[in-house]
Chain A
């Protein structure tokens, strides 16, 4: 017993002598709170570089302890990655950001060390550890001002690098190839002369009726493209329908008003209407000022369009594009002036409003199918057939997932659990 006590005293004196300038620090080299006390690090996979992930796996009893992570680069510069993380968080990322783009440099070797403590780490102690003279190469137990800090050994050198391919997006690549293959197959099939069927879409059949009625009443037609940009597919679909409507307008020699939310959409709409009038053989009827810019303020746009509706009293109103909270304000105003209204959007939250206030509504994909429906070109019909086949495929997947989940979690059958997890993993991006 005496021998052991003497040994401990000698050990303590030796440890203290290492930091003789600071009387309150005691260091016990190579001492660890538990076996396997270490942190690990790796390059963050599938990223653009400049990122390292540090992980740890400590016993659950230490979940409420704090962990501070320090870093040393190959030039010997020390820095703090994160202080006082809860051990239960299990990981932290050391990444470059817009504010500090050169924080983690690709190709540079970095070494990480963790400090485990029951209390939040003392600032003086931390500064002492990261000072150039001391470094933190010594792992062990530090007792500083009566607080105990457990310092891990340095990790191996970790190098960050940029990836050229995001492997986590492989399911997307497979889906993309599959979808493209189905589309190209059906496009070829349509090209070869195979007859394809497309069901009746009442909203699009009503275009002629709406334009005709408006012409008979001597009123203009209003075409509203919503508050989307030209980069939004629903806006492009709206422009496609605009082309058809404009052609009819030119044939009936009436007037079309297109109030726009975005200047790019406005210029595109001007081009579409101009071409449609030319195609109909009436370029003289085209008036650039009928396709005008209102504002890029959501409710300002709604107010502007509503005012125009009340003044011009159009006989037909088309609401085709991307709509949000202004949808009902526009549709109800159109309804109040007695216009025949044909609407279409992909926004599910706005569809009930359109169904309630308009005569015809193109629901989601019907809007996308409009260009196919209106042109009835075989190539176009091919894409609709491909969409339908993919829908069947998705339906089958949903049913399979549904059945598997019932057997897996309803009846607790192991093999189905594995199959369900496999399916979920395969579909996860």
Chain B
């Protein structure tokens, strides 16, 4: 019980308070303490990546073993994982001083390492592809939201119409002052609403932090009381 509950709560409280105090102390000793904490965070995170790899391998290996639906994709995941890792370990991310070239002296320096090649010509296009889906999802979500079923929805529809129109050259062509109207909408009513939410969020963050430091909030440790 002490190791599972009391110790983590004590660590949270002590380091929570220490880092609050650190915020007010600009002395190098305080900065060193902060950097030490960051180093610890990086070290702990590095170990958790091993757990992440173990989780991924176990999950996909089980899928392949049990031949669950779409198990072929799991092979791609595992092959990609190991090939990328090997390319990184032996080839490095940047040329010319890589372990790869030391092992294979015949390999001449190029602008792109195999790892960077996979990043630039495989990962990046895949990322862009997923990101580009957003435009279509926005259109479908906007279509549903902007149906004028109630006063609120109508207000949303009209405002969105004005803002959309004011952001393109056609809007300015129709009415010269439209971009200014859009600017006003974004700067005042929209910003006021956003700030209202943000004040609540910040107070919520402070409240949660105090509860964590005082040990009142402990759900994040797992379980309840």
Interface residues of A (CB under 8 A from B): 46-49, 162-166, 169, 172-173, 176, 179-180, 183, 187, 230-231, 233, 236-237, 239-240, 243, 263-264, 266-268, 271-272, 274-276, 278-279, 289, 292-293, 297-300, 302-303, 307, 311, 325, 328-329, 331-332, 346, 348, 351, 353, 355-357, 363-365, 367-369, 371, 375, 379-380, 383-384, 386-387, 390-391, 394
Of the listed residues B23, B49, B133, B198, the one surrounded by the most CB atoms of chain A closer than 10 A to its CB is: B133
A325-B128 Cα distance, complex, nearest whole Å: 12
- Over the window 197-225 of chain B, the binary record of Cβ atoms lying under 8 Å from chain A Cβ atoms (1 yes, 0 no) is 11111011111111110001101111110
Chain A residues with CB below 8 A from B180, complex form: none
Residue of B nearest to A247 (CB): B224
A342-B139 Cα distance, complex, nearest whole Å: 21
Q: B25 touching A367 by the CB < 8 A rule? A: no
Chain B residues with CB below 8 A from A162, complex form: 26-28
Chain B residues with CB below 8 A from A391, complex form: 199-200, 203
Chain A residues with CB below 8 A from B138, complex form: 328, 353
In the complex with contacts A176-B20, A299-B130, A356-B141 CB distance below 8 A: yes
Number of A-B contacts (CB under 8 A): 188
Out of B56, B137, B204, B222, name the residue touching A365 (CB < 8 Å). B204
In the complex with contacts A236-B212, A332-B141, A357-B141, A172-B24 CB distance below 8 A: yes
A52 smallest CB distance to B (angstroms): 15
B62 interface contact, C-beta 8 A: yes
Out of A278, A303, A353, A383, name the residue touching B211 (CB < 8 Å). A383
B75 interface contact, C-beta 8 A: no
- Please classify the interface of chain B as helix (H, G, I), strand (E, B), loop, or mixed, using the class held by over half of its residues: helix
Chain A residues with CB below 8 A from B199, complex form: 391, 394
In the complex with contacts A48-B27, A272-B222, A391-B200, A264-B48 CB distance below 8 A: yes
Q: A348 touching B27 by the CB < 8 A rule? A: no
Out of A48, A263, A325, A355, name the residue touching B52 (CB < 8 Å). A263
In the complex with contacts A266-B55, A302-B130, A348-B204 CB distance below 8 A: no
A64-B47 Cα distance, complex, nearest whole Å: 57
A275-B222 Cα distance, complex, nearest whole Å: 5
Q: A292 touching B55 by the CB < 8 A rule? A: yes
B140 interface contact, C-beta 8 A: yes
Of the listed residues B23, B48, B137, the one surrounded by the most CB atoms of chain A closer than 10 A to its CB is: B137
Out of B51, B62, B134, B208, name the residue touching A328 (CB < 8 Å). B134
Out of A169, A187, A231, A351, name the residue touching B216 (CB < 8 Å). A187
Q: A166 touching B24 by the CB < 8 A rule? A: yes
In the complex with contacts A292-B59, A383-B211, A365-B200 CB distance below 8 A: yes
B145 interface contact, C-beta 8 A: yes
A391-B200 Cα distance, complex, nearest whole Å: 7
A164-B220 Cα distance, complex, nearest whole Å: 34
Out of A166, A169, A264, A275, name the residue touching B44 (CB < 8 Å). A264
- Please classify the interface of chain A as helix (H, G, I), strand (E, B), loop, or mixed, using the class held by over half of its residues: helix
A218-B34 Cα distance, complex, nearest whole Å: 49
A40 smallest CB distance to B (angstroms): 23
A250 smallest CB distance to B (angstroms): 12
Out of B26, B27, B62, B204, name the residue touching A368 (CB < 8 Å). B204
Residue of B nearest to A332 (CB): B137
A302-B145 Cα distance, complex, nearest whole Å: 22
B127 interface contact, C-beta 8 A: yes
B58 interface contact, C-beta 8 A: yes
Residue of A nearest to B214 (CB): A187
A366 smallest CB distance to B (angstroms): 8
A303-B125 Cα distance, complex, nearest whole Å: 13
Listed A/B pairs (30) with beta-carbon separation below 8 Å: A47-B26, A48-B31, A49-B27, A49-B28, A164-B26, A165-B24, A169-B23, A230-B220, A236-B220, A263-B52, A266-B51, A268-B222, A276-B223, A293-B55, A297-B123, A311-B69, A311-B70, A328-B134, A328-B137, A328-B138, A328-B141, A331-B141, A332-B137, A356-B142, A364-B200, A365-B200, A365-B201, A365-B203, A375-B224, A383-B211
